[in-house]
Amino acid sequence: MITAVKIILTIFVLLGALPLFASLYQFILVIFHSKLNHYKLAKPITPAVAVVIPCWNEAGVIGNTIEHLLSMDYPHESLKLYIVDDASTDNTFEIVGEKCKLYPDNIRYIKREKGGEGKAHTLNAGIKVILEEDWAEAILIIDADILFEETTLRKMTRHLADPKVGAVMAYIKEGSTSNTLVHKFVAFEYICAQAASRRAQNVLGVTACLAGGAQLLTKENLIAIGGRIDTSSLAEDTFTTFRTQLTGRKTIFDPYAIVWAEEPNCLVALWKQRLRWARGNLHVTKAFKHIWLNKEVGNLGSFGFSFIWFTIMLMPILMILSSIGLTGLFFLDFPYSWLIFKQFWILNTFTDLFIILTCNFLDPKTAKRTRLEGLLFPGIISLCLIILSVYPNLLDRLLDIAVLNSSGNYSYFGLDMKSFIVVLFLYLWVSLCMIVSYLAYYTEKKGCPFFISRSLLLIGGYGPFLCAITFASYIKEITNSDMKWDKTHKTGNLKTNG
């Protein structure tokens, strides 16, 4: 009986290590992107592109966005902006109106009388007009605050020279001028989640999500997936991505096609944004349940993609299982649990080091700007454990465990009370870090002093903060909470040079 329980608890710990293996898997795949990419099939073409820009009270950013788009190195006769106003109550109309006078051949203004239905409905209002006009060869879906670099659109359209390509995504970078702690964490996260992970997905031949902030679709592909954007979910961009690939078309990420976005600068706003994304991923998982591990649907059904998708989506549960396994083994067989615990953090150390080095190679400028945040991504306590795991037996000596080992007393009862509490805390920390990071959000929401929420975020970690959001999405779905498309407030404080 004890042996069976020990095996089960060990499996729990190993399950907790799966996200580390998934991260290593993706970052190792990045190495092959220099050979396995789409550039050899790309050619410099400039198809007619209709840019759909959904707007709701975007007076602070829409003018700048329009100017950037029309100042790109792209033929004006092949570029038209469709500004879809979702019944704004500010002076968005006046600003767009002035731009229409300046660029009458390049801007269409579409006013929705009934607003508040969400981004997907707003996009569909614009797409309907575009398809009726039958002018565009490709449709670019962006957010109202996104700023394109001069050559970005050309770098995206070059992939459409391959008739098998249905969609292309740009590299969205965080470019807020305020450069706060949260902004820098997001900037580092985007190197991992986009510059690295989406390169890996290029190698696998499958894309998890063509981010709705800079998503280029061929007209043929858009028509093939229904001629509209999904409105049943909070993840309309991921639905588009999956449906595109299910038609047999390629989806490409171009890391050199760069656009800049202003991300939330506070935890409350970031929580709302990411909770919407996390719930959307749950909707996708259920809606496309037939693809998982299904070779008949192509790369979407591959083991590699399913492994990455589910380890990310289930990461909070896997972390909790790991803590349960370690804690159970602590009382059942302390020396064995301590050995596994140290191996777990050695794997963490190798993974984090590999990720940081890869990020510095892929985007050195952003990595330099976020060097400290990259190190503190897992949190201060986790970082200390990572550092300690580099030195064999150092943690043993700090907790007087080396004395126990040399004397042959392997029972946890041999630990003094202080060491007992510390070891138990470290075993539980694998999941407790999510609670600490959640408290960072909670204290900010309740109006506590700024330093409290930021201290909790640094202690718990930004990575665990994202996991806490994912866990919250489980609760929202289980309780059937209303799906709300909460708009992220933007100030227009954005630069395009990082």
* CA-based nearest residue to 127, from 82, 164, 160: 82
Q: What single DSSP character describes residue 176?
A: B
End-to-end CA distance of the chain, in Å?
58
Q: Is the pLDDT of residue 268 over 70?
A: yes
The amino acid at residue 312 is: I
Structure tokens at 19: 């996200």
Other C-beta atoms lying within 10 Å of the C-beta of residue 32: 14
Give yes or no for a contact between 52 and 364, defined as CB atoms under 8 angstroms apart.
no
Q: Is 105 exposed, middle or buried (0-12, 13-18, 19+ CB in 10 A)?
A: exposed
Neighbours of 359 (CB within 10 A): 23
Distance of CA 16 to the CA centre of its chain: 20
Residue 408 Cα distances to 56, 326, 404, 433, angstroms: 69, 21, 6, 33
Is-contact 427 333, C-beta < 8 A? Answer: no
Strands 107-111 and 138-142, by their bridges, are unpaired
Question: pLDDT digit string (tens) for 135-169?
Answer: 999 999 998 888 999 999 999 999 999 999 999 99
| pLDDT per residue as tens digits for the range 357-388 | 999 999 999 999 999 999 999 999 999 999 88
| Model pTM score | 0.91
pLDDT at 487 exceeding the cut of 80: no
pLDDT-derived band at 213, boundaries 50, 70, 90 = confident
What secondary structure letter does DSSP report for 485? Answer: -
Region of residue 111 (left: phi > 0; alpha: psi -120 to 50; beta: else): beta
> Domain 36-296 sits in which CATH superfamily?
Spore Coat Polysaccharide Biosynthesis Protein SpsA; Chain A (3.90.550.10)
Report the C-alpha gap between 368 and 371 in whole angstroms: 5
Give span(s): CATH 3.90.550.10, the chain.
36-296
Residue 416 pLDDT exceeds 80:
no
Averaged pLDDT for residues 161-178: 92
H/E stretch holding 147: strand 147-148
Phi/psi for 353 (5° steps) reads: -65, -45
Cβ(366)–Cβ(261) under 8 Å? no
* Contact yes or no for 102/131 (Cβ under 8 A): no
